[in-house]
């Protein structure tokens, strides 16, 4: 009897696919929760550590993956089941055949659609983000200066170097703004900048003007945009020679171009004057940072090369010189291999998933032939049969790709908004649109 049942099993009709309304609802909740967790990183980046952010992103991605699985295995089947119960839709022309067959195909191929969606989403996202790495605004986020020249006290070449930079810019027709900021080293570590000098600097670069209510207050300049890193430091014991001044840290601020300065603090002009009047013991070289702000700095390739040869970049001497264009070029070279690899691997995976999906749908070809031959005998015209096949194949083939693009678009928007916290001009959207349009076309 079991053998007979096994032989006749192919002749038995498949049971109607069923889906749970609760699991279908869970799919929406999981995807929504995953999107929310990933999007929350934009706010959390200011107070969470890197490990916490990565954990949050990992949880969000896991929720989206689980939600996508239930989307295809349950929600899509439930939507089709709902359409079958709507008589006005179900009995309209060829919809009866399209929807009925679609329910079985969706259930049979749900896992395939899930795999195709996840792989495609990863490919789209990786290519879009790696393409955006070459954006010049990413390099500019660390400093607004096209050229930075640091000169320690005692640098005999300071004047000639600054004049050479001005000369090269003038000869090449570049307009620029020069910002010079003096810093004072103290004997117990902190690097000091007086309040009036900082506020002049803030006006030129568009930062907030700061205030100190009395001379015992100070402002800490953070090395990264993370307020929690300086929460424990409420006081500063300033020692310089015989001078000892206890200072309270009123607030903390973040200035990207000051990130490489070791332990900088803004102090009142009165305290700064006291430090200047103290006779220094040992070698403590104060220094000045000259910054050249140039709007079209990506075009300074030739000048950067000339100045690098003329000035050099030695940190051991009394000066140091750096070019934003050179840093951008180095960034592109470092990530060039990654970008090329991600694009190639992404394209390979995308082609693989489409081939896999096509092959999976192709396996039902013989059964489809028999089915459509029977339908043609029942009186369906060739045009109607083509409509049925076209509707089914369009939904089955493009639905995973559309879902993958939705996931990728959300990832692009999140990356774009994260980029906006670094620089208003840094955009991931433009390169992302190019990537998606390229795959669609």
CA distance 76 to 204: 57
- What is the pLDDT averaged over residues 272-276? 88
Alpha helices by DSSP H, listed for 206-300, are: 269-277
Q: What is the largest CA-CA distance in the chain?
A: 106
Q: What is the three-class DSSP state of 103?
A: helix
Q: What is the three-class DSSP state of 50?
A: helix
Report phi then psi at 248, rounded to 5. -100, 140
Contacts of 275 (CB under 8 A, 6+ apart): 184, 186, 192, 238, 240, 243, 267
Q: Read off the DSSP letter of residue 363.
A: T
pLDDT digits (tens, 9 = 90+) for 164-196: 999 999 999 999 999 999 999 888 878 999 999
Contact status, residue 430 vs residue 419, Cβ threshold 8 Å: no
pLDDT digits (tens, 9 = 90+) for 244-263: 888 888 888 888 888 888 88
265 beta partners: 192, 220
pTM of this structure: 0.68
Residue 68 pLDDT level (bands cut at 50, 70, 90): very high
Q: What is the three-class DSSP state of 167?
A: helix
In this structure, of 5-19, 65-79, 118-132, 229-243, the range with the lowest mean pLDDT score is 5-19
In this structure, of 68-77, 79-88, 289-298, 382-391, the range with the lowest mean pLDDT score is 382-391
CA distance 374 to 229: 73
CA distance 155 to 316: 12
Q: Which of 263, 242, 239 is nearest to 252 (CA)?
A: 263
Contact status, residue 225 vs residue 141, Cβ threshold 8 Å: no
pLDDT at 229: 46
pLDDT at 383: 78
Contact status, residue 121 vs residue 404, Cβ threshold 8 Å: yes
Sign of CA dihedral 402, 403, 404, 409: positive
CA distance 305 to 298: 13
CA distance 365 to 393: 12
CA distance 192 to 185: 6
pLDDT at 226: 56
pLDDT digits (tens, 9 = 90+) for 39-51: 888 777 777 777 8
pLDDT at 342: 73
- What is the pLDDT averaged over residues 19-25? 90
Contacts of 251 (CB under 8 A, 6+ apart): 219, 220
CA distance 140 to 112: 43
Q: How far is CA 84 from the centre of its chain?
A: 42
């Amino acid at each position: 009897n079991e053998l007979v049942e096994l032989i006749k099993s192919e002749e038995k009709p498949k049971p109607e696919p069923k889906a749970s309304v609760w699991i279908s609802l869970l799919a929406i909740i999981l995807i929504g929760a995953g999107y929310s967790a990933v999007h929350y990183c934009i706010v959390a980046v200011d107070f969470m550590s890197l490990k916490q952010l990565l954990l949050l992103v990992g949880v969000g991605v896991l929720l989206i993956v689980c939600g996508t699985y239930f989307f295809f295995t349950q929600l899509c089947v439930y939507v089709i089941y709902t359409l079958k119960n709507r008589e006005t839709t179900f009995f309209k022309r060829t919809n009866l055949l399209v929807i009925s067959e679609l329910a079985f195909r969706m259930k049979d191929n749900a896992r395939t659609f899930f795999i195709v969606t996840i792989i495609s989403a990863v490919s789209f996202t990786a290519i879009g983000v790696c393409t955006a790495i070459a954006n010049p605004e990413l390099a500019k986020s660390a400093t607004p200066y096209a050229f930075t020249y640091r000169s320690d006290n005692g640098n005999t070449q300071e004047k000639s170097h600054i004049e050479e930079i001005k000369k090269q810019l003038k000869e090449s027709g570049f307009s620029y703004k020069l910002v010079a900021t003096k810093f004072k080293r103290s004997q117990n570590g902190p690097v000091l900048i007086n309040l009036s000098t900082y506020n002049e600097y803030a006006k030129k670069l568009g930062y907030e003007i700061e205030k100190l209510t009395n001379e015992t207050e100070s402002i800490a300049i953070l090395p990264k945009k993370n307020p929690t890193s300086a929460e424990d430091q409420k006081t500063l014991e300033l020692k310089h020679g015989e001078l000892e001044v206890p200072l309270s840290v009123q607030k903390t601020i973040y200035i990207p171009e000051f990130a490489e300065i070791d332990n900088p603090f803004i102090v009142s002009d009165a305290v700064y004057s006291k430090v200047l009047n103290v006779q220094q013991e040992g070698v403590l070289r104060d220094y000045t940072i000259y910054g050249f702000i140039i709007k079209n700095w990506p075009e300074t390739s030739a000048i950067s090369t000339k100045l690098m040869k003329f000035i050099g970049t030695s940190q051991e001497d009394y000066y140091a010189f750096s070019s934003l264009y050179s840093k951008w070029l180095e960034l592109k070279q470092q990530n060039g291999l990654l970008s090329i690899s991600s694009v190639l691997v992404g394209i390979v995976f995308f082609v693989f998933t489409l081939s896999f999906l096509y092959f999976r749908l192709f396996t039902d070809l013989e059964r489809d032939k028999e089915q459509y031959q029977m339908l043609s005998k029942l009186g369906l015209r060739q045009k109607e049969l083509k409509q049925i096949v076209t509707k089914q194949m369009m939904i089955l083939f493009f639905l995973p790709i559309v879902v993958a693009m939705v996931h990728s678009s959300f990832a692009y928007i999140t990356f774009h908004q994260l980029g906006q916290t670094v620089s208003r001009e840094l955009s991931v959207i433009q390169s992302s649109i190019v990537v998606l349009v390229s795959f669609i076309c």
